[in-house]
Amino acid sequence: MKDRPAASSLPVGTVSGAAGSVASMEVASSGGALTSSPPTARPQLEELIRVSLGLPYVSSGKEGIETGNHYQSVSIGDAKTSGFRSDRSAFLNRVDFRGRKVLDLGSNLGELSRSARARGADVVDGFEYDPFFVEVAHLLNAYNFTTRVSFFQRDITDPKVYVGHYDIVMAFAVWTYVRPILSSISQITEALLLETHNLNGNLERDYTTPISRFFPHTTVLGESDWGRTQDPGGGRAVLLCAKTGAVLEQALAPTAT
Ligand SMILES: C[S@@+](CC[C@H](N)C(=O)[O-])C[C@H]1O[C@@H](n2cnc3c(N)ncnc32)[C@H](O)[C@@H]1O
């Protein structure tokens, strides 16, 4: 067993560990009671998140489709990072998440999951194949004090992962994986919020027609961007699809009058 340093060798008021020293605090000389602000690991946690986002990592996924590190732009407290994708708040604002149970497919760094929760979702589960993205999503939850948002390493092409019931399933930029599994998804939800891949006059043929077999009612919430680089043109669309007209109505955020 490794020897621990003697307590007296540590600077007073610092906690030492692998991640370095946690913010120092004043300790009263008698009894060790705190006399000023409590310690915080937030600066170290932020640094860890930023280092993680900066790693030259490319996930190759189950099918060998690559996703670069830092795909999503994320909130670290009040700061916003610049990932490959820009913010998609405008589309999430169109959806009524209040009190809903939500599943986020291909949840990446968890930004859309946390955004759904911030808009009132009761609970959000995110399924993500890549373990490193799941890890960073957890770090971001911790930093942002996020509650009731959980991430699971899951293969969304496996029908067995679709258990339980969700009010809304989100499938942003994961069409390749969800297209063959729409039947399983339709068994656990009545509403699907989906972002297409880059469009090329194929919205109806490749998206709304196959989706309508399971979710016959669709409204287009708008056009989203491809990403910050390598834009092949065309852009994407964000669709809200539902089994009935009433479900579609209920899933839309009330408009300000
Ligand atoms: C293009 S990104 C979209 C991320 C997120 N939905 C968004 O729009 O910001 C695709 C995500 O799906 C994940 N992914 C790829 N194959 C998957 C699989 N079989 N099961 C679960 N997630 C998968 C990738 O690791 C990546 O995080």
Q: Which residues contact 157 (CB under 8 A, 6 or more apart)?
A: 62, 63, 177, 180, 181
Up-side HSE of residue 135: CA atoms within 13 Å toward CB? Answer: 10
pTM above 0.95, yes or no: no
Choice from 66, 67, 197 to test ligand 1 binding pocket (greatest atom count within 8 A of CB): 67
Cα of 27 vs centre of ligand 1, distance in Å, is 47
Amino acid 18: pLDDT: 40
Amino acid 33: pLDDT: 59
Cα of 177 vs centre of ligand 1, distance in Å, is 8
Cα of 188 vs centre of ligand 1, distance in Å, is 19
Cβ-in-10-Å burial (0-12, 13-18, 19+) of 233 comes to exposed
Q: What is the CATH number of domain 89-251?
A: 3.40.50.150
Domain residue ranges in the chain: 89-251
Which atom of ligand 1 is nearest to 104's Cα? 6
For each of the chain's 257 residues, which pLDDT tens digit applies?
A: 333 333 333 333 333 344 445 654 444 444 555 568 999 999 999 999 999 999 999 999 888 899 999 999 999 999 999 999 988 999 999 999 999 999 999 999 999 999 999 999 999 999 999 999 999 999 999 999 999 999 999 999 999 999 999 999 999 999 999 999 999 999 999 999 999 999 999 999 999 999 999 999 999 999 988 776 655 667 899 999 999 999 999 999 998 66
Does residue 108's CB lie within 6 angstroms of at least one atom of ligand 1? yes
Kindly list the distances between the CA atom of residue 151 and the CA atoms of 22, 62, 139, 141, in Å, as whole numbers in the listed order: 27, 18, 11, 10
Does residue 127's CB lie within 6 angstroms of at least one atom of ligand 1? yes
Cα of 154 vs centre of ligand 1, distance in Å, is 10
DSSP state, residue 181 = G
Amino acid 36: pLDDT: 85
Amino acid 235: pLDDT: 87
Strand partners, 58: 68
At 54 the three-state DSSP class reads: helix
Does residue 156's CB lie within 6 angstroms of at least one atom of ligand 1? yes
